[in-house]
Structure 1
Amino acid sequence: LLDVSEVISQPVYDTQESIYTDMLKELKEAAAQLTAEPGLSSFGSADILFNGNAERWVRFANSLRLRLAIRVRYANETLAREHITDVIGKPLIEANNQAATLRTIDGADINNRNPLYNSYLNSNGYPLWVGLTVTQNLLQRNDPRLEKFADPATDGVSGYKGRPMCLFADEKLPYGESTTAFLDYSFRTPVYDIQVMNAAEVAFLRAEAALAGLTNEDAEAMYRKGIELSMTQYNVAAGAITAYLGDEFGSLSGAEEEQLREIIIQKYLANFWLGAESWAEYRRTGYPEIWTGSDLGSTNGRIPRRGTYPQTEYSLNEKNVRAAAARLQGGDLMTSRIWWDSKPGLPYLHPKQGQFPPEIY
């Protein structure tokens, strides 16, 4: 135990840049240690991700480092390039059977079950609606994953109509229980493999790195590989995958920013139900564009870009939390942009922002 004189009751906040720099360093060192000492004792079945398989931990560490390096590229390209260049030739998550997943347990402790199954039971089977951003991007691309992610509205007419965000009562009327697409039950089974990091995401990270000139890989090849991996993950038929890859959205085209947009939207779809990562990518890149309704809320209609510091910090550590908040342009607001959220010109508006209804497809 620490002596009372050693306790730090008012810690200084590290900068976001220093935290990311250290996380990248720690991941590099961890992967190197596991690679250099493969004979270390295994945690075996106590390892709930990889069952003691050190090689899969190495792939996860390298892939996670690639994710973080891409995340900071608009804020510190030198740091991003350093780690992308170093990690791109190392073992990564490249196949669906190498993905980081957490399988839930249908046992005596219901907290170990799929949380979406528990919500299904607790709500007597009430559906979870699929968002407009998901359905519209899938419909635009005639994407076969649509029927894997969602079930059509039960009225037999509305089809795969997703529910938008930030609606007033009158705007909610077209999006009732029978007129809105809902989450497929395959996501709500008691035993479910929660995605931590999948192979498709890693392919799209590599596509972006190549597009930005940070590697010598082929952006087009990595993009197509990401699509194929995601569709295979969701058991899309091989013929449907081939047809999709041969269609308009199966290849990159246009200016660099247009290609980046398509890479990020495909990654967004591949990371379906990984909300935190999708939110990070939206803030970092501006994609996919998100339509919001007339309920402006406390952010005046803007999608939050961060969480605010808790009030307890202002009560117990005021000097240091105010110093941290002062580093944010705009201060401690949900709309202030954090360090890596530095791409110019964001956010990008949805093409039908300010119009109702928002559906295009």
Structure 2
Amino acid sequence: MIINKLKTSAICISLLAAVSCTSDFENINTNETGASNKDLEQDYNNIKAPFGPMFANVLILTAWPYQYQQNLQADVWSGYMSSGAGFATGNNHTYSLNDGWNYLAWEEAYKGIMANALRIKQRAQGKYDQFYSISLIIKVAEMSRITDIYGPILYSKYGTEGTSWTYDSQQDVYNQMFEELDFAVTDLTKRVAAKEATLFASTDVSTYAGSYEKWARYANSLRLRLAMHIVKVDPALAKTQAEKSLNSTIGVMKTADDAMILNPPNYSNPVAAISQSWTDINMSADIESIMGGYNDPRLASYFISGPAYPGQFKGIRNGIDITDAHYRDFSKVNSSQTVWMTTAEVYFLRAEGALRGWNVGGTAKDLYEAGIAASFAQYGLSGAAAYAQTTSVAKDYDDPTSTINDAVAVNLVPVKYNEAGTNEQQLQQIITQKWICGFPEGQEAWTEWRRTGYPKLFKIVKNTSGGVIPTDLGVRRINFINSEKAGNKVGYESGVALLNGPDNGATRLWWDVNKGNF
């Protein structure tokens, strides 16, 4: 397997203290009041510069760190991908969580996101809030992922003086993120109403090209996503936050060009290199079963046939005993863009809101079908209306290399929306299509699978967790990282105390409530 080791300095043993591991410690810890005349003379470059690493670290844009950040974890646990490569002892795919892989999401979030968001806050807050607002949106986009991976994290105390820092509970992190999105949406909405020219165009590497309106719309859509995450633990707050987004002046994503897509020059999604060049990751058996059963035309946009089965889409079941290099030649991931959020996802979020009786501006069925149409449009495909009437279900999985990995289909719902079905049946349909449209962004898919249990995925064949993570339960979180245990013991211990369970992969997060969806 082509996996590089990130070598960090012993001086920076705790990335929670990332601000103190930078070369400009004095500057970043100075309580600045705003940009100076010098900033104005250089076109706000002092404020704009930190945005580069922020854009590059929500979903890391380079292959090997992305592999550590997400591809070896959520991309697999979500049911999107599997690997045809063999592994040494300590394998996330078989639930023996590998600390040597699982640290990077945490470390890069604090180095790349939190440190730079703090720089922008100190240089722009209260004086150039258009920059500060957008930095808050990017910060929430990333740190919502981090808290959904690990649970309690350092958030409100980040950048404060000291040598150790306690963590915030996940509930407190979510509440602060909602407040930060409120600030950003309010500020940017006022600028849109005033027809203020953007100062962000030259800095923005997304398809938004600096548009304050599109950034506000993305922030509202992100708030809707986070609201749905907490619907089982705090349904009243979830409804309030969701309807706040939908009822705001600018609203949420509705058209294809509202999608949040990065568009840096000379760029392709790193997962394509990991799959096609390194042959480290492949299509999953779950995708083959579900999308193959639906005869879903998006398969040809998501994957390319591997040399073992030309002209076919062949996936690998997760958590199997890899003894045959033949698996590397199964279907490969084909993705050219990095998408932070799709318009289709927002329609499916609204469809679930309608199912729950929220005021979301449409029926569950209509919004569900609009989500399918938006996903087809994203890939330039026709036939969305006909696909939405599909009555077939997932198909059984056949492993041509080893029959021990065969599996009977488990996610048995059709595409055609069943208005007469139970709430659970309708939710399963909504989440299944949201799962399909979200590919290849495994983090959100893993989060929603933990929250809802959908789509139903094949269980792993080989469990090497030593009884820590039950096969039926699946991985619920990642352990806190070793550098925190050594370099921020106070923080680590506070995080464990807030978990309400041991620091392992079987402990549920705050929003991951062990009860029915309704």
User: Is 1:181 equivalent to 2:312 in the alignment?
Assistant: no
Give me the whole-angstrom Cα distance separating, in 2, the residues matched to 1:45 and 1:130: 37
1:44 aligns with 2:215: no
Aligned to 1:231: 376
Match of 2:385 among 242, 255, 259: 242
Matched residues in 2 for 1:219 and 1:345: separation? 19
CA drift of 1:41 comes to 4.5
Residue 316 of structure 1 corresponds to which residue in structure 2?
A: 487
Tell me the distance in 2 between the aligned counterparts of 1:342 and 1:334. Answer: 15
Task: Give the counterpart letter for 1:105 in structure 2.
Answer: P
The answer as to whether partners of 2:435 and 2:445 remain within 8 angstroms in 1 is: yes
Residue identity in the other structure for 1:43: F
Q: Which residue of 2 aligns with 1:336?
A: 507
Secondary structure of 1:44's aligned partner: coil
- After superposition, the CA RMSD in angstroms is 2.5
1:305 is matched by which residue type in structure 2?
Answer: R
Maintained 8 Å contact 1:104/1:193: no
2:428 match: 261
SS in 2 for 1:169: coil
How does the TM-score come out when normalised to structure 1? Answer: 0.82
Is contact 1:204-1:222 (8 Å) kept? yes
Work out the CA distance in 2 between the residues paired with 1:207 and 1:289. Answer: 19
Contact 1:284–1:341 under 8 Å retained in 2: yes
Q: Which is bigger in relative contact order (C-alpha 8 A, separation at least 6)? A: 2
User: Could you tell me which of 119, 130, 136 is aligned with 2:283?
Assistant: 130
Residues 83, 129 of structure 1: CA spacing in aligned structure 2 closer, same or farther, 3 A cutoff? Answer: same
Q: 1:99 aligns with which of 259, 264, 270?
A: 259
1:358 aligns with none
| Inter-partner Cα distance in structure 2 for 1:315 and 1:156 | 48
Report deviation, 1:297: 2.2
- Secondary structure of the equivalent of 1:195? strand
The amino acid that maps onto 1:93 is M
Bigger mean CA deviation after superposition, 17-26 or 300-309: 300-309
Partner of residue 304, structure 2: 151
Q: How does 1:53-202 map to 2 (within 5 A)?
A: 53-90=211-248, 91-106=251-266, 113-116=268-271, 118-119=273-274, 123=278, 126=279, 128-156=281-309, 159-169=312-322, 176-178=327-329, 180-184=330-334, 187=335, 192-202=336-346
**CA deviation vs aligned residue, 1:167-192 (integer Å, no higher than 9, x gap):** 1136x68x6344x33324xx2xxxx3
8 Å contact kept, 2:202–2:210: yes
Whether the 8 Å CA contact 1:133–1:288 is kept in 2: the answer is no
* Cα displacement (A) at 1:122: 5.2
**8 Å Cα contact 1:42-1:53 kept in structure 2:** no
SS in 2 for 1:79: helix
Q: In structure 2, what is the equivalent of residue 277 of structure 1? A: 444
Q: Partner letter of residue 209 of structure 1?
A: G
Q: Could you tell me how far apart the structure 2 residues matched to 1:104 and 1:250 are?
A: 38
Name the structure 2 match of 1:288.
Answer: 455
Residue range with higher mean Cα deviation, 204-213 or 78-87: 78-87
Task: Show CA shifts across 1:36-61 (max 9, x none).
Answer: 12316521121112211111011101
- State whether residues 271 and 333 of structure 2, in contact with CA within 8 Å, keep that contact through their aligned partners in structure 1: no
Q: What amino acid maps onto 1:244 in structure 2?
A: Y
User: CA 1:183–1:311 in structure 2 vs 1: closer, same or farther (change >3 Å)?
Assistant: closer
Do the aligned partners of 2:294 and 2:390 also contact (CA within 8 Å) in 1?
Answer: no
Which secondary structure does the structure 1 equivalent of 2:450 belong to?
A: helix
| Alignment match of 1:204 (pick from 348, 357, 362) | 348
- The residue identity in structure 1 corresponding to 2:258 is Q
Tell me the alpha carbon deviations over residues 246-285 of structure 1, each in whole angstroms, 9 at most, x when there is no partner: 3331323410011101101100100000011111111111
Could you report, residue by residue, the CA deviation over 1:222-241 in whole angstroms, capped at 9, with x for unpaired residues? 1000011101211222xx22
Instruction: Give the 3 Å change call, closer, same or farther, for CA 324–282 of structure 1 in structure 2.
Output: same
After superposition, give the CA deviation of every residue in 1:135-186 in whole Å (9 maximum; x if it has no partner). Answer: 211122222212222234545589323111111136x68x6344x33324xx
Range 48-57 or range 140-149, more displaced: 140-149
Cα contact 1:168–1:293 (8 A) shared by 2: no
SS of residue matched to 1:288: coil
- Residue 152 and residue 48 in structure 1: after superposition, are their counterparts in 2 closer, same or farther (change >3 A)? closer
Residue deviations 1:186-205 (CA, integer Å, cap 9, x gap): x2xxxx33111110000000
Mean Cα deviation higher: 193-202 or 319-328: 319-328
Report if the CA contact (8 A) 2:272-2:333 is conserved: no
- Which stretch of the first structure deviates more once superposed, 278-287 or 312-321? 312-321
Query: 1:250 is matched by which residue type in structure 2?
Result: K
Cα distance in 2 between the residues matched to 1:230 and 1:159: 22
> Structure 1 residues 328 and 211 mapped into 2: Cα distance closer, same or farther (>3 Å)?
same
User: In 2, distance between residues paired with 1:260 and 1:165?
Assistant: 24
Counterpart CA distance in 1 for 2:454 and 2:488 is 36
Distance 1:222 1:139 in 2: 24
Gaps of 5+ in 2: 1-25, 31-159, 392-414
Corresponding residue for 2:120? none
2:402 is the counterpart of 1:252: no
Q: 1:283 is matched by which residue type in structure 2?
A: R
Task: Work out the CA distance in 1 between the residues paired with 2:269 and 2:297.
Answer: 25
Q: How far apart, in 1, do the equivalents of 2:161 and 2:280 lie?
A: 48
| Helix, strand or coil at the partner of 1:231 | helix
Match of 1:28 in 2: 182
Deviations 1:76-105 (A, max 9, x none): 112111111221123211111111000242
- What are the ranges of 5 or more consecutive residues in structure 1 without an aligned counterpart? 107-111, 347-361
Deviates more, 1:309-318 or 1:266-275: 309-318
Query: Closer, same or farther in 2 for the Cα pair 1:37/1:201, shift >3 Å?
Result: same
1:16 equivalent in structure 2: 170
Give the AA of the match of 1:42.
L
Residue 343 (structure 1) shift:
4.3
